[in-house]
Amino acid sequence: MPTPDFRAREPLLRRREVCLRPAPSRERLQAVIAEVLARIDDNLAVFTHAFPAPSSVGGVYPAIGNVEWTNGFWTGMLWLAYEVSGEPRYREAADRQVRSFRLRLDGRVNIDHHDLGFLYSLSCVAAWKLTGDADARDTAREAADVLLRRYLPTAGIIQAWGDLSDPGQAGRMIIDCNLNLPLLYWASRITGDRKYASAADTHIEQAVRYIVRADGSTFHTYFMDPKSGAPVGGKTHQGYDDSSCWARGQAWGIAGFALAHRNKADPALLQLAAQLANYFLNRLPEDLICCWDLVFTGPPHPRDSSAAAIAACGLLELAGALPPSDPDRTAYQAAALAIVDTLGAHYLLPRAEPGTGVLAHGVYHMPNRIGVDEACIWGDYFFLEALVRLTRDWEPYW
Ligand code: GLY
């Protein structure tokens, strides 16, 4: 990877304090997993033929069809629940949903965006990995083909949003895309065709160059000129402003660059993820659950528990990949444990009517006032993924 001018990581301000925090016992983590599974059971009847909306309303997810960028998260939770429990009821519901992802692809239902990775990694790739479902494998591979069509060779990026002829979205990449790239790497692995991986490699290089700022914070989105390939500039969509650092974007960055290292074994990616991690960890409130934008570090600004859950997975991925000599490696593991412990102890919604979410205090889209201080379905997914990562040897669906 052409190395960006590597900027030093900020010193991690709370390394000692985090490392000295007593880690939750395995039994305690298992008890939280049981709490999450109980909530999945409460929702199984509502969300087998339907899916939860991206964010809750008063803590309860409205039921929707397979039409959003977020549908894979619930199916992914079902696969995780199946993995940890072996209970066929989760697999049966997940299998049913996998068929709905095939219909969505065939019907071209809202697939004109880059979130095919979120959708198809957690549903169909997971099905293939866990059950050997060949139809699911073929569906996921076709989804990767659709995603690859969004690659703009001159700019070297996957365009995030919009029909490719839409001038308002032309040449826009976003940090969230880091989690869509694993679908491309997976497609190269199963087909033996490098075209998917080489597009993902180039996109990652462009994201490293332009989306990450010199101080280790990130733009949410960045425009490239699709005709000349020249950089145009950064723009937020869900953050506070163009110069701030949207907390979930930073979390997508930590998790995504660390995951990219599985596919593109360049140690610079880990150093970059560590730089983002330190920026994130140095701007957390006392309980380590971030506000929705890292420009804020406490009340009255809402937390985003979903960003915290994503970051916890990213920190675990990072801690698992860094060499033992890395000065912050143990702090990343300890911080992830502390975040997950706090979420389990203080951020669980009480069990209530069917459709109730798992994690309270997430934020979907603050500028548009959507899902503010609500459960977000990706937050629930990444919380369970973090718990699974902490309690077993887990092969990611990514
Ligand atoms: N990927 C969209 C979001 O994080 O809200």
What is the arithmetic mean of pLDDT over 283-305? Answer: 97
- Cβ burial, residue 298 (10 Å; 0-12/13-18/19+): exposed
Q: Which stretches within the chain are classed as H helix? A: 15-20, 26-44, 71-85, 88-106, 116-120, 126-131, 134-148, 181-191, 195-206, 247-263, 267-281, 305-321, 329-346, 377-391
Annotated active-site residue in 176, 201, 328, 380: 176
2 pLDDT above the threshold of 70 = no
In a domain, 8, yes or no: no
* pLDDT tens column, 183-224: 999 999 999 999 999 999 999 999 999 999 999 999 999 999
248 Cβ below 6 A of ligand 1: yes
What's the confidence (pLDDT) of residue 79?
Answer: 98
Q: From residue 363, how far is each of 11, 16, 57, 152 by CA, in Å?
A: 28, 30, 12, 31
In a domain, 326, yes or no: yes
pLDDT above 70: percentage of residues in the chain: 98
What is the pTM assigned to this prediction? 0.98
Residue from 41, 95, 112, 115 carrying the catalytic annotation? 115
Residue 61 lies in a domain: yes
Residue 3 lies in a domain: no
Average per-residue pLDDT in the chain?
Answer: 96
How would residue 7 be classed by pLDDT, with cut points 50, 70 and 90?
low
Residue 2 lies in a domain: no
Q: Is the CB of 304 under 6 A from ligand 1?
A: no
Q: Is residue 4 part of a domain?
A: no
The Cα–Cα gap between 329 and 67 comes to 39
Q: Indicate whether 67 belongs to any domain.
A: yes
Asked if pLDDT for residue 1 goes beyond 90, the answer is no
Segment 61-100, tens digit of pLDDT: 999 999 999 999 999 999 999 999 999 999 999 999 999 9
Name the residue with the closest Cα to ligand 1, atom 2.
176
The domain total for the chain is 1
What CATH number is attached to the domain comprising 216?
A: 1.50.10.10
Asked whether residue 9 is domain-assigned, the answer is no
Tell me the residue range of the domain where 282 lies.
15-391
